[in-house]
Amino acid sequence: MFIVRFFLCCILGVLGILPLHAADAVAPQTTEKPKPAPTIEPGITFDWVHVDRPYIALTFDDGPSTKLTPKLLDLLAAHQIKATFFLIGENAAEHPELVAREAREGHEIANHSWSHPNLAKMSDDGVRAQLRKTEDAIRSAISNRPTLMRPPYGSISVRQKKWINQEFGYKIVLWDVDPLDWRRPGANVVCNRIVKNTRAGSIVLAHDIHPGTIEAMPCVLKELEAKGFKFVTVSELIAMETPLPPKPKPSSTPKPSKSAPARSTSSSPTPHN
């Protein structure tokens, strides 16, 4: 009798414990939901454009410069090349005649802020003032407004890109070729870096406020032309964009078994020396 009672107690104890363990097994580990990764709306930001032909866009930041920009414009005119100039508003307001010449000769004029601050560290009102003042200076010089902007240092948040695009209608333009000409490494280095890294659809970054950059441009244009590249403005390049080809699907052909060597498909065996 004692043994029967003992076994009954053991069975009841086990039955009481099992529900507790079952509850533990299905209890969630955490109540926090994973945060979705930030996304960028397509068609807002460009650092390179997929094109089917060898077109590229040369871009020049931080001007205009009374000493250097006219030399660059003369060179571009000699090669019949159109570029895109991302202007600092202070410089544009001080030298509207150069802005007018750039536009008159077919170059694209774009917004690069008023005084070159780090926009990612500024309030929305501060960013808005930087872009608005520069747009007003450009509009005053050429009676037209820009449609592109480039953030100084390339520094801008995803949220800023969205509201700037919504409020100003700007596309945000970065780059995929950077010769680091602002470090003034010398004309030969600037030329070599640009020529080596440029590909179809590239947006090339340079600055028309550094003497070495202007000295490098004859080499840059000559070498890129020799490679078959053709030059357009950034807006023209974006208009040429074609869809990226789909990624190839993995092959469904079964791999040969490791236990048996694969048979050769050639008509005659390759001799081994």
Residue 253 DSSP symbol: S
Q: Distances from the Cα of 209 to the Cαs of 30, 92, 236, 262, in angstroms?
A: 55, 13, 25, 63
Task: Say which residues have a Cβ less than 8 Å from residue 239's Cβ, sequence separation at least 6.
Answer: none
**Longest Cα pair distance anywhere in the chain, in angstroms?**
113
Any catalytic annotation for residue 207?
yes
Cβ burial of 64 (10 Å; 0-12, 13-18, 19+) is buried
Q: List beta partners, residue 75.
A: none
What is the spatial distance between Cα 45 and Cα 135, in angstroms, rounded to a whole number?
19
Instruction: State the burial class of residue 48 (Cβ atoms within 10 Å of its Cβ: 0-12, 13-18, 19+).
Output: middle
The neighbouring-strand residues paired with 55 are 230
118 and 155 Cβ atoms separated by less than 8 Å: yes
- What whole-number distance in Å separates Cα of residue 194 and Cα of residue 6? 87
Q: Which of 61, 62, 181, 208 is catalytic?
A: 61
Among 221, 245, 243, CA closest to 56: 221
Q: 109, 151 in Cβ contact below 8 A?
A: no
Question: Cβ distance 102 to 64 under 8 Å?
Answer: yes
| Residues facing residue 177 across a β-bridge | 204
Q: Which of 95, 107, 112, 207 is catalytic?
A: 207
Question: Active site includes 61?
Answer: yes
Active site residues: 61, 207
